Structure 1
Amino acid sequence: MTAKTFSSPIFVRDADQAILQIASVADALGFLARWPEQRRGPIYNTAMRACHAAREDRLSVDGARNAFAGFARSVGIRETEAVSIEPWIATPKRGRMPL
């Protein structure tokens, strides 16, 4: 784990409804930079400032993670957990798949 990697990733949906994994300060900054200007507000600004501060070692990485998570939650794009694979995609651990 690098110094700027989150302790655990944050999963968010982008504009195309694809689920993205945000695992570091750099990932968060990249995502925030692409966020539409007309949808930016005080919580966005807080997350952006926190990520910049963490990148410059003025804030802990956990502080930046928490700020980004708060932003994602406030705009309704946060996924509470990673998406699981559909059962029909997974192979059985042993034996044959039932027909």
Structure 2
Amino acid sequence: MSAASSFCRQITGTSDVSVDDAISRALSVARDGYGEPDWFDVVTARGFISKGHVTHYQVTLNLGFENTSKNRATDDFYFHRACGGVRRPRNHHTIETRL
């Protein structure tokens, strides 16, 4: 039996409606890029004020993910590239061939 692994990402959401909407937008972007997060933690919440009224909200989240197959493939790719692992692309890009 293998130990479960997880990883974190940090993402910022913005909204002109509310803090909740900024969180929802950040989670939506996270789902599209990394899969469904298992938890989130609000790191910072800030806003912009104009003429005494809040006009814009910005929320930065830490997101936690269990290592699903989609997430694992993404992490492995970047890990191997950063640590000298060999990527075997189907089509070689010019810049990668020179490096």
Query: Which TM bucket (shorter chain)?
Result: under 0.3
- Which structure's residues are more often helix, by fraction? 1
Larger Rg: 2
Name the TM-score, length of structure 1 as normaliser.
Answer: 0.24
TM-score (norm. length: structure 2): 0.24
